[in-house]
């Protein structure tokens, strides 16, 4: 797979007050991407998959490579999944883990693995009262992303960690589940927690709130890069989540990570057998050194 410092590392720039990292794109690349998205957008309009709540120019990608189901199943078969993924990401020099102390699961005992689809939100400038008075159209776009998504995708929403305003609630999660999404990661707050739990739809969020996002949140970009706590996520990256937190595996490292996890898991299973059998230290030390000293 080559160096862990992939080409994306060298094509980043900082912008905005928060120093958000986004990939640099040449004007030629931007025009080509726009032409592709325009064509795919028209195709999805014909297929009845465009709600139109967000301007088309804010959709960065529609079709992109996704991790095969066979690979996703290999991840799902791993016990203590995020801890295993986090260890391998560390060994590769990749920042890709957020603890459950920052992004808490709404349900307990759920495990999700799937390709990321993304939304980047900002807060509206108007007050909600003014929005109602002006009869504004809602600018949240979860409906758009649900119908652009494929079954098994994981929605990753970035609202800068805002804890006051809801990014999604029970009805939104009902649509997501009906459309076949595997779960949602929200760098912000959600509401209707009891409904979400009853649905059994997996959601991780920074917090909960009763306050609607209607007339408070505007979607600025779909399927572009987003930041979730301290990690960067791009459409197509593999999202892994369980009770311990979430991990993002860059698309180009997905196979390498699961190969390494499976190798380590075999060694750890053998070590567990030896520990239970109260094996002598001279049998444990080689496996210990192999696991913890590389």
Q: Could you tell me the sign of the dihedral formed by the alpha carbons of 13, 222, 87, 98, in that order?
A: positive
- Mean pLDDT within 183-210: 98
Which backbone phi and psi does 186 adopt, to 5 degrees?
-120, 110
Cα distance between residue 163 and residue 158, in whole Å:
12
Find all residues with CB under 8 Å of 9, minimum gap 6, and list them: none
Its sign, for the CA torsion 112, 113, 118, 121, is: positive
Q: Are 60 and 219 in contact (CB under 8 A)?
A: no
**234 falls in which pLDDT band (50, 70, 90)?**
very high
CB neighbour class for 51 (10 Å; exposed up to 12, middle 13-18, buried from 19) = middle
| Predicted confidence (pLDDT) at residue 215 exceeds the cutoff of 90 | no
Contacts (Cβ under 8 Å, ≥6 apart) of 162: 123, 188, 189
Domains present along the chain, CATH in parentheses: 7-250 (3.50.30.40)
pLDDT digits (tens, 9 = 90+) for 23-82: 444 444 445 558 889 999 999 999 999 988 888 899 999 999 999 999 999 999 999 999
Helix or strand holding residue 239 (H, E) = strand 238-242
**CA–centroid distance for 24 within its chain:** 21
Residues with Cβ < 8 Å from 276, sequence gap 6 or more?
A: none
Percent of the chain with pLDDT over 70: 79
Question: What is the pTM (predicted TM-score) of this model?
Answer: 0.83
Q: Residue range 128-145: average pLDDT?
A: 70
What residues contact 115, with CB distance under 8 A and at least 6 apart?
A: 66, 67, 150, 152, 153, 154, 235, 236, 237, 238, 239
């Amino acid at each position: 797979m080559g160096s862990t410092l992939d080409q994306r590392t060298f094509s980043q720039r900082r912008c905005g007050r928060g120093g958000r990292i986004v990939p640099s794109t040449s004007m030629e690349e931007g025009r080509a991407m726009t032409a592709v998205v325009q064509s795919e957008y028209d195709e999805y309009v014909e297929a009845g998959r465009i709600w139109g709540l967000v301007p088309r120019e804010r959709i960065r990608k529609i079709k992109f490579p996704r991790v095969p189901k066979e690979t996703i199943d290999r991840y799902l078969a791993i016990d203590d999944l995020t801890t295993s993924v986090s260890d391998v990401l560390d060994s590769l020099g990749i920042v890709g883990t957020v603890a459950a102390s920052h992004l808490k699961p709404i349900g307990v005992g759920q495990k999700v693995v799937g390709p990321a689809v993304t939304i980047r939100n900002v807060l509206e400038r108007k007050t909600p009262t003014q929005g109602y008075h002006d009869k504004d159209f809602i600018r949240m776009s979860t409906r758009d992303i649900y119908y652009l998504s494929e079954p098994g995708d994981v929605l990753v929403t970035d609202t800068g960690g805002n804890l006051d305003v809801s990014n999604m609630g029970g009805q939104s999660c009902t649509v997501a589940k009906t459309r076949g999404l595997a779960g949602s990661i929200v760098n912000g707050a959600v509401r209707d927690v009891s409904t979400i739990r009853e649905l059994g739809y997996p959601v991780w969020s920074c917090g909960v709130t009763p306050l609607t996002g209607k007339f408070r949140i505007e979607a600025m970009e779909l399927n572009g890069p987003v930041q979730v706590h301290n990690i960067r996520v791009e459409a197509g990256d593999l999202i892994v989540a369980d009770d311990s937190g979430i991990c993002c595996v860059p698309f180009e490292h997905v196979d390498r990570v699961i190969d390494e996890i499976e190798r380590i898991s075999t060694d750890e299973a053998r070590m567990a057998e030896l520990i239970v059998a109260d094996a002598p230290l001279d049998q444990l030390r080689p496996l210990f050194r192999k696991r913890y000293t590389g």
